[in-house]
Amino acid sequence: MEPSSFWAKLMEYGLAGIVIAILFFFLWRMLIWVMKWVDEINKQHTAEREIWMKRLESLDQSIQTHNLTSIEARKATEEAHKYQREEHKEMVVILGRINGYKQ
C-alpha cells in the first residue's frame, strides 16, 4: 500500500473508518481463534466418548456374565428344591407310618 493511497483512504473514510476496520480485523481473528478452540474441544470430546464406549461395553459384558451366572444358580436352586420336596414327601409318609397314621 502506497503512502499516498493510505492518506487518500484516511481522507475518504476518516478516523472512524480506520477504527471500524481495525475492530473488524480483531473480530475476524477472534472468530478464527474460536473455531480452532471448538475444533480442539470436539476432538477431546470424541476421544472421551471412545473411552466411555469401551467402558460401557466392558460393563455390559460384566452384566451379561452376571445374568448368565444368576440364571444357572437359579436353575440349580430349583433342582435342589425339587429334590428336597420329594424327600419331604417321602419323610412325611415314613413318619406317618412310624406314628401309626394309616392312609
Q: What is the pLDDT of residues 32-81, one digit of tens each?
A: 999 999 999 999 999 999 999 999 999 999 999 999 999 999 999 999 99
CB 32 within 8 A of CB 24: no
Euclidean distance between CA atoms 1 and 10, whole angstroms: 13
Q: What span, in angstroms and rounded, lies between the C-alpha atoms of 103 and 100?
A: 10
| 50 touches 42 (CB < 8 A) | no
Q: Are 10 and 18 in contact (CB under 8 A)?
A: yes
| Percent of the chain predicted with pLDDT > 70 | 90
pLDDT one-digit tens code per residue, 71-103: 999 999 999 999 899 898 888 888 887 777 665
Q: What is the pLDDT of residue 14?
A: 80
**What is the count of structural domains for the chain?**
1
Secondary element (H or E) of residue 4? helix 3-98
Q: Is 98 helix (H, G, I), strand (E, B) or coil?
A: helix
Q: Provide the whole-model pTM.
A: 0.51
Average pLDDT, the chain: 88
The domain in which residue 47 lies consists of 1-103
